[in-house]
Amino acid sequence: MNNSEEYRTEPKLAYAVVFGSVMVLGLPLNAVSLWILLRRHSLKSSNAIFMVNLAISDLLLVISLPMRVYLYATGTWPLSSKACTYITMLFRNNIRSSSIFITLISVDRLLAVVYPLRSRHLRTASNAWKSVALVWLFVLMVNIPEGLELPKNLNNSNESTCFEFRRQQQEQEQQPGLALSYFQLVLVVTLLTVNLVSTVLVSCTLHKRLNDSAKVNNKVNVMLIFAMNLVMFILCFLPASIGVLTIKTHEITPLVCLASVNCCLDPLLYYFSLDAFWKKKEDVDLAREQ
């Protein structure tokens, strides 16, 4: 009994520190990134549109973190069980929307590098906005069944257990919830595969153009973007998606902490291409087509 209580309370301060650090770093990084993208880049580039929406997705996660910090720091939950459900859904939505926007950025870079001329009619602002609208519509549609199932699975029997989940012992009874969890895992694995294939294709294409020394720095930046995308999938999105299905209640919180770090890593996607990020759009249009 004493060991159990120790296990439940001792890590909570560490969780509060991790979520607090993510919030302190993620809020200014994403806010500044969003400001620069909107101020210096008109939303006529598909890449800029995807990055703006990725920053918005991360900011939605960041605004949910103060309540996680409060819970793990004090051991009490001052809001309703519905608020607990909504904040949990914000975290899951971030995994879905961020993973999709990161993949769209990868595919956009793939088309720009491997098929620069043939893909121009695809890489338009109009198509990017349509893709973004479909992504957010998809996220909202998933929220409908998830909003009905999460309250049944959340172990919110008292004020100190928000964000924890009951063990799904009766699969027949919890079938909709399990289906959503499996769906998220399949989604993340599928998108990871797309990113892996994109990375290989871009790497092969750049290797063939290795003698073009004038653009070596740009090539390094492109590959850094793809490498960071893979890191975020493998370290942030995939473990949390697997953990929801396989790990017990108390042991999944470290994976949630790890997954939340993606909102601090995402701005690196913009900073890896500093020339494109800091210059105004009219100075970058030609570079984006290469």
Indicate whether 24 belongs to any domain: yes
Domain presence at residue 21: yes
For 135-190, what is each residue's pLDDT tens digit?
Answer: 999 999 998 888 887 777 665 545 556 776 554 444 444 555 678 888 889 999 99
Residue 250, helix vs strand vs coil:
helix
In CATH, what number is assigned to the domain containing residue 40?
Answer: 1.20.1070.10
Q: Whole domain around residue 246: which residue ranges?
A: 9-153+172-288
In a domain, 164, yes or no: no
The verdict on residue 91 lying in a domain is: yes
Q: How many CB atoms lie within 10 A of CB 72?
A: 24
- Write down the pLDDT at residue 76: 84
* Per-residue pLDDT at 22: 95
Residue 201 has pLDDT above 90, yes or no: yes
The token duo for 75 is 């051991």
Q: What are phi and psi of 289, to 5 degrees?
A: -85, -5
What angle is formed at CA 182 by the lines to CA 176 and CA 185, rounded to 5 degrees?
Answer: 145
Q: Residue 260 falls within a domain, yes or no?
A: yes
Residue 278 domain-assigned (yes or no): yes
Number of independent structural domains in the chain: 1
The packing angle between helices 175-208 and 216-232, to 10°, is 160
pTM for the whole structure: 0.85
Instruction: Flag whether 4 is in a domain.
Output: no
Predicted local confidence at residue 237, as pLDDT: 93
What pLDDT score does 246 carry?
78
Structural domain contains residue 3: no
Confidence class of residue 272 from pLDDT cuts 50, 70 and 90? low
Confidence of residue 205 (pLDDT cuts 50, 70, 90): confident
Q: What pLDDT sits at residue 55? A: 93
119 neighbors 111 (Cβ within 8 angstroms): yes
The pLDDT of 56-80, averaged and rounded, is: 90
Instruction: Check residue 127 and give its pLDDT.
Output: 94
Q: Look up residue 130 and give its amino acid.
A: K
Centre a 10 Å sphere on the Cβ of residue 290 and count the other Cβ atoms it contains. 10
Model confidence at 213: pLDDT above 60:
no
Report the alpha-carbon distance of residue 213 to residue 60 in Å, rounded: 41
State pLDDT tens for residues 81-135: 888 888 888 988 999 999 999 999 999 989 988 888 888 888 899 999 999 999 9
